[in-house]
Amino acid sequence: MHESDQPDTGAPARPPRRPLAGIMTAVRSHPKTWMAAGAAVAFLLLASGSVALGATVGAPAAAAGPASPTATATRTATPTPTPTVDPGRPVPANQGAATRVRTCSVAGLAADGRLGTLEAQVVNAKTGQVLFDRNGGKPAPTASVLKTLTSAAALATLGPDYRVSTTVVAGSTPGQVVIVGGGDVTLSRLPDGQASFYTGAPKIQDLANQVKQAMGGQPITSIVVDTSLFGAPVWQPSWDEREERVVEGSTSYMTSLMVDGDRDDPTAVESPRSTDPVSRAVQYFQQYLGTNVGVSQGAAPAGARQLGVVQSQPVTTLIDQAMRVSDNTIMEELARLVAIKNGAGNTFDALNAGVLAGLKGYGIDTSGIHIADGSGLSNDNAVPPSYLTQLFIKVMNRQNGLGVVYDGLPVAGKSGTLGPGYNRFTGASSAARGAVFAKTGWIDHGYTLSGIVNAADGTPLTFAVFALGNVGDNAKQAIDTLVTGFYKCGDNLTNG
């Protein structure tokens, strides 16, 4: 019977019984038995407390704190129990660092049908963290964005101060002169005092005057033309010749001797090109020499006396101009010279090995990259967006002389092929004007943009966007809208 069940007898109330007093009496009566029981209770409390603490924090059970203070103290020290872990519950060795939750999404913009098959990547240029990725590791045609790779290879291989020479040497017979094409596409036919499209271009008139002076009044009897530096074919087979050479007037046949990029109009950004750049150059050379003697193809004699030489602007200037207006012919020249310098050969087929060798020193994995030309015109080029985001970090930081590439990048709403007149970053996308420094690109089956964004929150981002497949001219506006989204999100950009 429990105490609460006792009947009321009317006798004076007895003091309530104290359970602790009874326990202590029992302890005094059987001390050895109670000491053993206390040790067992302490062991159980210590073990269960260790397991519970380890599961809560995510740290190993061995790192748990001391047992609960409610454990019964004894006069005799007891062995420290060995913590146990439930084998069915894995416990990490170290607690993972907290991951920032980003909340600014551009998923809706990236789903715009005008972008066709989208390949894109965005990287925080300070931390190297990938913030946004859509097929970013997949190699694909880049269009003119490839000019960034050609520029980097030229800086590494030729050097920033390298100048391209056009020379004239004495021939193998008296009065014979040999003009040797060194690959300079900027050599101009315009007379002194008239500026061609290429800033600071050397003049073929100056070359002719040097030859006349070196000949000392000796009559010129014949002219030999040495264009052996560049090998055939002169046109990349995958290019659309009518579109690029005639209609757009953006690209010439690749010969080692030409004037004004072989433009019909030597002062225009784009102008139809001829089918014989060498003959056009020789025509003006003859005119300035004041002779109409016979012309033949041949090779310069080994060790021949130099009669004259003119040089292009340095590689840095050539890159700057070509990047700003997306000049295909300069970039084809540089790619060919890189391949020759790296011992890969002097044809289009040599460009892949030559340019990749030039890029090796930047330390970025080139796996999957294929270089079919230097300008990006070919659909056979293949570069993943992830390579470009890494390269543009180096461009932004001006590593290895790449600052010249940064300086030549078109600026949204301000300059180059992103400037006024190109209908880029207009309307709502004008929010990013002045903050996007990027190379544009367009081929029949793709529109591209890659470069650097100074985001609204101050975060520098590098990015590459390829809109590929069945896309139209309005893909440019969809790209601008997406990149403006990158600008607005900054480091809060989420991949979701």
Residues taking part in catalysis: 144, 147, 326
Are the beta carbons of 392 and 383 closer than 8 angstroms? no
The Cα 355–Cα 156 span in angstroms is 10
Are the beta carbons of 398 and 406 closer than 8 angstroms? yes
The DSSP symbol for 278 reads H
Q: Are strands 222-226 and 295-297 parallel, antiparallel or unpaired?
A: parallel
Q: If DSSP codes are grouped into helix, strand and coil, which group holds residue 199?
A: coil
Helix axes 328-341 and 147-157, enclosed angle (nearest 10):
40
Contacts 24+ apart (CB under 8 A), 27-33: none
**Six token digits for residue 175:** 């009065």
Task: Report the Cα 391 to chain-centroid distance in Å.
Answer: 4
The Cα 306–Cα 300 span in angstroms is 10
The DSSP symbol for 411 reads B
Task: Tell me which residue of 140, 147, 96, 97 sits closest to 121, measured CA to CA.
Answer: 140
Are the beta carbons of 281 and 200 closer than 8 angstroms? no
User: Before 233, cis peptide (omega within 30)?
Assistant: yes
Backbone angles phi, psi at 188, to 5 degrees: -110, 145
The Cα 360–Cα 365 span in angstroms is 8
Task: Report the Cα 174 to chain-centroid distance in Å.
Answer: 54
